Amino acid sequence: MELENIELVATEEIEKCDDLDQLNETRVKYLGKKGLIQGFMSKMRDLSNEERPKFGALVNKIKAAIEERIKIAQEKLEEKKINKKLESEAIDVTLPGYKFNTGVIHPLMQTIEEIEDLFIGMGYEIAEGPEVEEDLYNFELLNLPKDHPARDMQDTFYINPNVLLRTHTSPVQARTMQAKQGKPIKVICPGKVYRRDDDDATHSHQFMQVEGLVLGKDISLADLKGTLLEVAKKVFGNEREIRLRPSFFPFTEPSVEVDVSCFKCNGKGCSICKNSGWIEVLGAGMVNNNVLKMNGYNPDEIQGFAFGIGVERFTMLKYGIEDIRNFYLNDQKFLNQFKGVK
C-alpha cells in the first residue's frame, strides 16, 4: 500500500467497525508493533538524509490522524455499547402487563366455609373422619344392623363386607361419641360421601354433607328448630322461616324433614318451590336412644339432636344451579362465576 493512500483506507476500515473488538484489530493492523505504519517507519533507513525527515514527518502525521480517528470511533462504539445495555434493561411502561389467572374457591367449599363459620360462631367444633370407613361406624353404631331394611335407602360402595366408602358423614358422629365417652358434644362434620347412584341432574355418586350433632342435658326439639332457623336465615336470607315435617331416619327419633320458606317467591308459589311456598332443605331429628346407648351415653341423662345438610342442594338452591354435575366437571366458565362471591 502506498503511504499516500493509507490514511484514506484506514479511515474507511475504522468507520466500518461494528464493535470494540473489530476496532482493536484495526488498530493493531495499522498502529501495532508489526503494523503498516511501523512498516513505513522501518523503510526510512533506506532513504537519503534529505528525504528522511520529510518522510518521517509525513508518516507521523498519518499515524496521528489514524490514532485520532480510532479514538473518535472508540468513543462512539463505547457509547453505543452503553446505550444497547440500557435499552435491554429498560422497562417499557406502555407494554401490556402479564395476565395472571387466579383461581376461585369452589362453590361447594364456599358453602361449607359459610356453614362452618356460622357454627363455629355458635360454639361448635369441627370433626373429621375417614372416607373409607368400617361398616361398624357407618351403619351398626347408628342403629342400622346388617339386616336392617333401611340400609337399602343408601346404595353403598363396599370394599369388602366390613369396609366401605362412607354413605354419609354420620360415622364421624359415632366416632366422636365413642371418643367423648358420655360427655357433652357440639360438633359439625363436613366431608365427602359416596353412594351407588347413577349420575343425573340431581344425583351424584359423590357429594358433600355437613352433619351436626349436639348432645347435652335437656336438649330438645326446640333447640334443633332454633339452630336450623339460624342456618336457614344465614344461607337463604333473614326473612326465611322453617317448618318441620315428620320423617324417618334410623339414626333419629323423632325424625323430621326441614323445609325453608321459598326465598324466590316468599311463599307465594313458583317453579323452585313447586308452587308450595316451601323448599325441602335437610333432614334432622332427636338422636335415637339406641344410638346413644350403643355409643356409651345414658339417654336418661343426656339427649341431643342431629342434622344433615346436603351441601350441593344448598348451593344449587342458593345460586339457582339446575344440574348437580356442574360442580364436578371442572368447567372454568362455570367455576369463574363464583369469583368474588365470597
* Contacts with Zn ion, residue ranges (CB under 5 A): 262, 264-265, 270, 272-273
Contact 126, 92 (CB under 8 A): no
Nearer to Zn ion, 46 or 322 (CB): 322
Least distance (Å) between residue 275 CB and Zn ion: 7
Whole-angstrom distance, CA of residue 121 vs CA of residue 115: 10
Least distance (Å) between residue 322 CB and Zn ion: 15
φ/ψ of residue 69, rounded to 5: -65, -40
Residue with nearest beta carbon to Zn ion: 262
Rg value, the chain, Cα: 44
Buried b (16+ CB within 10 A) or exposed e, 46-58: eeeeeeeeebeee
Cell representation of residue 102: 387466579
Nearer to Zn ion, 215 or 262 (CB): 262
Least distance (Å) between residue 270 CB and Zn ion: 3
Whole-angstrom distance, CA of residue 238 vs CA of residue 228: 13
Least distance (Å) between residue 318 CB and Zn ion: 14
Nearer to Zn ion, 270 or 321 (CB): 270
Residue 134, judged by CB atoms within 10 A of its CB (0-12, 13-18, 19+), counts as middle
Nearer to Zn ion, 10 or 232 (CB): 232
Nearer to Zn ion, 180 or 233 (CB): 233
Least distance (Å) between residue 269 CB and Zn ion: 6
Which of the 8 DSSP states describes residue 288? P
Which of the 8 DSSP states describes residue 275? T
Whole-angstrom distance, CA of residue 1 vs CA of residue 148: 114
Give the alpha-carbon dihedral of 58, 62, 65, 69, to 10 degrees. 180
Whole-angstrom distance, CA of residue 324 vs CA of residue 98: 35
Least distance (Å) between residue 113 CB and Zn ion: 27
Least distance (Å) between residue 254 CB and Zn ion: 27
Residue 161: cis peptide before it, omega within 30 degrees of 0: no
Least distance (Å) between residue 261 CB and Zn ion: 8
Nearer to Zn ion, 226 or 237 (CB): 237
Nearer to Zn ion, 37 or 273 (CB): 273
Place of cell 501495532: 32
Whole-angstrom distance, CA of residue 62 vs CA of residue 37: 8
Contact 204, 197 (CB under 8 A): yes
Three-class secondary structure of residue 240 per DSSP: coil
Nearer to Zn ion, 210 or 262 (CB): 262
Nearer to Zn ion, 219 or 262 (CB): 262
Whole-angstrom distance, CA of residue 59 vs CA of residue 40: 7
Least distance (Å) between residue 273 CB and Zn ion: 3
